Amino acid sequence: MRARSGLDPGSVWAQRLGQLERRLRYQGLAGRSTNEVLQLYSAHGQQQKLQRSSVVTQLHGAIKRLKQDLKSLRSFALELSKDFQRQSKTYLYQVLTAVQGIQLQNEAMQRHFLSGVEKRKNWVRRLFPTLPVCWHLRAVLLLEKVFQIKAFDLEQSLQEVTERYEKEKQRRRALHNTLVELRGNIRVHCRIRPLLPFDTAAGHSVSQDGQRNSSEKVAYAADDETVLVKCSRPSHASINKTFQFERVYSPSESQDTVFADVAPLLTSLLDGYNVCIMAYGQTGSGKTYTMLGPQLEENFAYCIEDASELGIIPRATQEVFRLISEKPPGSYWVEVSVVEVYNNEIFDLLAKDSCGKVFGVKRDVVTTREGKSDVPLLTYETVENASEFLHLVNKGLQLRVRHPTLVHAHSSRSHLVVTLTITTIVSGDNFGTSWEDEQTSQRLNKEVSCTFPQKMRENKSTSSSRASSPAQIEATEKMKQVKTRLQLVDLAGSECVGMSGVTGAALRETSFINRSLSALADVLGAIAEQRSHVPYRNSKLTHLLQDSVGGDAKLLVMLCISPDQKYLTESMQSLGFGTRARQVQRGQVKKKSFPVPSKAK
């Protein structure tokens, strides 16, 4: 068999051994792979168990949180239901109480009506004993109609009497104003500002019982001509003092109402009279608000977005240009100057440097040969409308000196004087006593259009002194110039040093402010007593306002006071100043004379 197979026995055994080795190797690998598979399977099972346990743990935590939320929601729902029940009971009780009250009122009204009817029936029985009973009610209804007609007639008569009273009141006021003009008296208006948040801030006083007295109101407008002040001292009975003025404004009255009483003076401006309006009062009493309106804290310029809040100065300018627009074109032009009196020095707030930048320049005030006050080299800017004027005033306001105090965060430390000079061009040949009639105005317009200086129109924004201003251009033989001035003055507020808490430079400013206001009071006192010498030169302020205060202008003083108890002393001082100002009789204010042609012409 070995011969037939042809194989060597050694090679056959080698093949068998190789097969056995391979089989054993494969069995080892298979066993090892089986073990690894089992290990992997067990590891995967453990991982799944861990994942299931973590998921179960998370689910348990979520279930616990849900249970807690359900408990809180249940308690909240119980509280809501209890509150709802309580509120429903309360509302039900209120409704029942209201229904019972209404029922009681109805019953009382019915009883009153029935008793009234019975009383009227008894009254009818006594008056008409022979009248049948069935007619008693008809007689009562007839009498009620008669009484209603009489009541209606009485109401109408009362309304008529009230209207007549108002007309007589206006007539009396007009006559009083005429008397004031004839005597040359100073018109004094008083404005009481409302209580403001800073009244209860720093600087408040505390009473013995620990309560604040700072917000207590002691100044009231009793009527439109009387201020009532409640003066009280510790352990003393309160005393009511009254002050009479031409007009008194309550805290609720608007800027429109204030200006409505000022506007008639502006008509006098174009009729040939000088006009001066000044605001007087303590710091924080509303002077700047009354004269300018609300101010922006960023640049201290007044805001003109809300027209209803504008003060006297912007409104007066708008009214002046409105009146000028009704006149012949070219017959008027307007110049404006803005100065401040700071530490008894006059500063020109419209002066410009070589680069055209506005900066304050110190000026001086002098008295001319004619006895008038004048500021040499003062800058006058020509304006053609109210917008240009407001732009210039805003520039000047940004240079005005201010300093915070305990009383007012933006206290003005200087007196501001804004002057509008109106130059009227009139014809010497054609102008007569009725210079405002239509035909004369037309001829005047033609002459002005031919002779009015073109240089004025081209150089309207050039700063110049009064000597070189367009107002002083030499008139032609046919034209004459008449100048009137409107001075708008925002005085710095008087201060009590102990209350304002100022020190250093601010204390020096306060000293100058109080001295200048005292000098103004001395000037008014000297005029009232008709002294031979009036001390205008004791202060730059009074020297600057000499023409206005001394009788060359229609003067209106706007007193501004605070109603707060802690400012009682300052308010009484302001009211006393206004009372003394009313007593000044300066003589009739002179009107600027317009040229009138002679009879030969």
Which residues belong to the annotated binding site for ATP?
281-288
- What is the rounded CA–CA span in Å between residue 337 and residue 332? 17
Query: How far is residue 84's CA from residue 45's CA, in Å, rounded to a whole number?
Result: 57
d(CA 285, CA 571): 9
What is the SS3 assignment for 363?
Answer: strand
From residue 492, give the alpha-carbon distance in Å to each of 109, 413, 556.
Answer: 62, 6, 17
Q: How far apart are the first and last CA of the chain?
A: 179
Binding positions: 281-288
Nearest to 551 by CA among 319, 283, 276: 276
CA 533, chain centre distance (Å): 41
H or E stretch covering 404: none
Nearest to 261 by CA among 247, 251, 244, 279: 247
CB 167 within 8 A of CB 174: no
Positive or negative, the CA dihedral 406, 408, 412, 417 is negative
> Which residues share a beta bridge with 191?
249, 560
> How is residue 138 written in tokens?
């008809």
Q: Are 280 and 558 in contact (CB under 8 A)?
A: yes
Q: What is the DSSP string of 106-138?
A: HHHHHHHHHHHHHHHHHHHHHH-TTS-GGGHHH
Half-sphere CA count of 479, side-chain side, radius 13 A: 24
